[in-house]
Amino acid sequence: MKPSRLLLQCRAGFERESAQEITAIAAEMGVDGFVKARPDSAFAVFQAHQDEMGAELGEHIEFSRLVFPRQMVRVGEALTLEERDRVVPIVAAARALGTRFSALWIEMPDTNDGKSLATLTRPLTPHLEKGLKKAGIEIDAADAQYRLHVFFIGSLACYVGISDPAHASRWPMGIPRLRMPRAAPSRSALKLAEAIDEFIEEKDRAKRLAPGMTAVDLGASPGGWTWQLVQRGLMVTAVDNGPMDEKLLETGQVKHRRDDGFHFRPSEPADWMVCDMVESPSRIAHLASRWLAEGWAPQAIFNLKLPMKKRWEEVLRCRQIIDEALGGGGYYLRMKQLYHDREEITCYLARQRKTLR
C-alpha cells in the first residue's frame, strides 16, 4: 500500500506555516488538497483530494526543499487504539506497508503533552518489536528502502507510516542530539553547529571548513558562532560593537572589529560570512545577498528573525530579494527552521550554478 497523506512534524506554533508551505509546493506539482493541523500541536497532515495523487506527491517531494517541517512521514489514516492491546492494530498497519524496514522510529509531537507520551512508548516498544517480528516484519534490514514510523498523537491514537531516509530527517522527530559545549560563550553556538550539520554533508565538511580558512561573523558578540568556527580552525573577523568572549580573543584566531555589521566592509574576500543579528528579515536578506554579489564571500550562513504574523509570506519575500540581488540565478539557497531556532529560520546561500528554489 502506498500511503496517501504527508505527516509533517514542526516546531509548536508553526503548524500554519507548515500547512501553507506544503500546500504551495503540492500545488506547484499539480496536487490539490487540504491540511489538518491544530495550533501548537507541533504537526500537520496534508491530505490530497485524490489518494493516488497524494501517494505520488509523497514519493517525489524533496524534504530538503521544506523550510518549516522537521520531519516528513508518509502515513495512512490515524489509528484509534484500544488500551488493552495497542500492538495488534499498529502491526496490521505496518504489515500493509511492507515487510522489510531499515529502522523502527517511535515518535510523538515535540510538546509537553507529547513528551508525556514517552512514558507510554518506552514500555510499549519491546512488545511492538516482538509483534512485528511475529508478523514476519523485519526491522534493521540493511537493504530496505524505507524506515517505519509510529507517531503517537495520544495514548490511544497514532499514525503509522514510512519515510525514505534520503528524503527525511536523519534524526527521530527531526531533533539532532547536540550537547551544549561548556566552553562556548552562548547557546547560539548550537544553532551554527546544527546549521553546518544540516547544510554541509559530512564528507565535505573537512574541505569546506578547513583549518586556515577565513570567516567574517557579523553581529558576533559574545561569540557563539565565532567559537564554532574557531573550533574548526578558521581565522575569524568578529564584527560587533559589543564585547567578545576573552578566551576566544586569546586563541589568536579572532580579530575583533568594533563596527556595525551593515557598515563593515572586508579588506579582502573571506571564505565564509555568517550572521545572527536581530534585524528585519528583509534587511538581512539584502545584506547576505550583497556579500555574495560583491564577491566578499562565496557562501554564507545567516538567520532570518521572522515576524509574529505572515511568516511564510516573509520567507517568500526574502527569497525574492535574494533572487533579484543575485540576478535571478547562479546561486544555491536552502532555508530551514532548525531545532535550535526559535522564531527564526537559518539559511545557507552560496554562489553556485546549482539553484534550489
As its CATH architecture, domain 5-174 has 2-Layer Sandwich (3.30)
As its CATH architecture, domain 188-350 has 3-Layer(aba) Sandwich (3.40)
Predicted confidence at residue 139, as pLDDT, reads 96
Question: Is the pTM of the predicted complex or chain greater than 0.75?
Answer: yes
35-80 tens-digit pLDDT = 999 999 999 999 999 999 999 999 899 999 999 999 999 999 999 9
Predicted confidence at residue 354, as pLDDT, reads 45
Predicted confidence at residue 1, as pLDDT, reads 72
Contact 279, 305 (CB under 8 A): yes
Question: pLDDT grade, residue 2 (50/70/90)?
Answer: confident
Strand order in the sheet with 344-350: 254-257, 235-239, 214-218, 272-275, 299-305, 344-350, 332-336
Predicted confidence at residue 328, as pLDDT, reads 83
Of 305, 309, 310, 336, the catalytic one is 305
Indicate if the pLDDT at residue 91 is higher than 60.
yes
Share of the chain above pLDDT 90, in %: 91
Mean pLDDT of the region 101-129 = 94
All 3 cell numbers of residue 302? 545567516
312-342 tens-digit pLDDT = 999 999 999 999 999 888 999 999 999 999 9
**In angstroms, what CA-CA distances link 28 with 22, 31, 69, 222, 256?**
10, 7, 18, 43, 46
145-184 tens-digit pLDDT = 999 999 999 999 999 999 999 999 999 999 998 989 889 9
265-303 tens-digit pLDDT = 999 999 999 999 999 999 999 999 999 999 999 999 999
Taking the C-alpha atoms of residue 345 and residue 284, their distance in angstroms, rounded to an integer, is: 12
All 3 cell numbers of residue 317? 519575500
Q: Looking at residue 10, what DSSP letter applies? A: -
Q: How far apart are the first and last CA of the chain?
A: 31
Contact 91, 128 (CB under 8 A): yes
Taking the C-alpha atoms of residue 230 and residue 240, their distance in angstroms, rounded to an integer, is: 17
Say whether 305 is catalytic. yes
Q: Which helix (H) or strand (E) holds 25?
A: helix 15-28
CA 63 to the chain's CA centroid: 9
Asked, colleague to colleague, whether 5-174 and 188-350 share their fold, the answer is: no
Mean pLDDT of the region 246-260 = 96
Q: Write the single-letter amino acid at 306.
A: L
CA angle 270, 275, 279 (to 5 degrees): 140
Task: Match 540581488 to its residue by C-alpha cell.
Answer: 325
All 3 cell numbers of residue 195? 546549521
What ranges do the domains of the chain cover? 5-174, 188-350
